[in-house]
Structure 1
Amino acid sequence: MDVMEWTGQVYADTPIVSAETYVEAPPARVWELVSDIHLMPELSSELREVAWLDGLTSPGTGHRFAGRSAHDALGSWETISTIVDCEAPRRFTWAVGDPGHPSSVWSFLLQAQGEGTVLEQWAQMGPGPSGLSLAIEAMPDKEQKIVFVRLREFETGMKANLAAIKGLAERRA
């Protein structure tokens, strides 16, 4: 996928960005990786730590987990995420914050293709407030640029995630 182009979107547009790759491993193997929340801090440049909540230890629709993240420009923050779609080995989607009005939604989509899997990761910004909302409130005339830069960061992170998952899945396949 090419680098995301300027869209001029604002936060209220709930912009979406995605990346995908082909993994030479079956969907069940790729699913083991993308649905393992404890793997994600190892892959992410922002996510530092995760923990299941409510005594749960595995993914399922409605299950919640806590996350602790850090970013040079945005500082450190903690979130509660709720899995809103969990269909093995096809979709793993979670909403950050209030699932009815999340600050973001993240997803892995898996599709069998030949002997392998097409793996896509996507994210939607908003509609609920996030740390980015504070930057936009402080510089409303720069909202489009702030949103664009953050979407590019999401895209860069996704490409790194997908490459790491691909490497792990293909090594173990």
Structure 2
Amino acid sequence: MEWTGARYADKPTVEVTTWIAAPPGRVWELVSDVTGMPELSAELQSVRWLDGAAGPAVGARFAGRNRHEALGEWETTSTVVAYDPQRVFSWAVGDPDEPGAVWRFRLEPRDGGTELSQWMRMGPGRSGLSLAIDAMPEKEQKIVFVRLREFERGMTATLEHIRQRAEA
């Protein structure tokens, strides 16, 4: 990823893609199981479905507990905004109409396996990162850049864990 000098209001994005030697159905089992995601992430500590939901569907909500060395611990509520089995799974963090972030997995059958992409967009709603920007507005572009790089590293590791599990 190159330095873009993006500000939070620009709604910057990051995307990581990998190819997995497993059919989309197997990969889908892993990416659509949000309660299993903490095993694949250094930052995400736990996930639980809310409002009686037992799994993903558009409008279903889940709470995620996170931990970051510099940002501390926090909990978010996310709403599933796209759910197309074996193709797309996406959720908005915070208010789905003004999310602090949107995350998405996209699957595509390719070369006898599955191309898997994980994408995220910051903003436009406030998030934990907004607090750091409020405290140091002159460093906003650096704060955004560093966080995007952290997301990119975390997403790369998550996709590698998914690849290993799907191919096992």
TM-score (norm 2): 0.99
Deviation at 1:60, TM superposition (A): 0.7
Deviation at 1:150, TM superposition (A): 0.1
Runs of at least 4 residues of structure 1 off by over 6 A? none
Cα distance in 2 for partners of 1:42, 1:143 equals 31
The C-alpha deviation readout for 1:26-83, integer Å capped at 9, x for no partner, is: 1111000000011110111111010001111111111110111011111111111000
In the alignment, is residue 153 of structure 1 matched against residue 144 of structure 2? no
In the alignment, is residue 51 of structure 1 matched against residue 48 of structure 2? yes
Superposition pairs of residues 59-98 of structure 1, within 5 angstroms: 59-98=56-95
In the alignment, is residue 6 of structure 1 matched against residue 3 of structure 2? yes
Cα distance in 2 for partners of 1:169, 1:148 equals 31
Cα distance in 1 for partners of 2:80, 2:16 equals 20
Q: Percent identity at matched positions?
A: 62
Describe the SS at the equivalent of 2:34: coil
Cα distance in 1 for partners of 2:48, 2:93 equals 14
Deviation at 1:114, TM superposition (A): 2.2
Deviation at 1:110, TM superposition (A): 0.3
Cα distance in 1 for partners of 2:118, 2:79 equals 17
Deviation at 1:104, TM superposition (A): 0.4
Describe the SS at the equivalent of 2:54: coil
Cα distance in 2 for partners of 1:66, 1:159 equals 23
Specify the code of the residue in structure 1 equivalent to 2:14.
V
RMSD (Å) for aligned C-alpha atoms: 0.6
For structure 1, the residue ranges without an aligned partner over 5 or more in a row are: none
Cα distance in 2 for partners of 1:88, 1:97 equals 23
Cα distance in 2 for partners of 1:125, 1:119 equals 20
Decide which of 104, 112, 119 is 1:107's aligned counterpart.
104
Describe the SS at the equivalent of 1:112: strand
Deviation at 1:126, TM superposition (A): 0.6
Work out the number of aligned pairs and report it.
168
Specify the code of the residue in structure 1 equivalent to 2:135.
A
Describe the SS at the equivalent of 2:35: coil
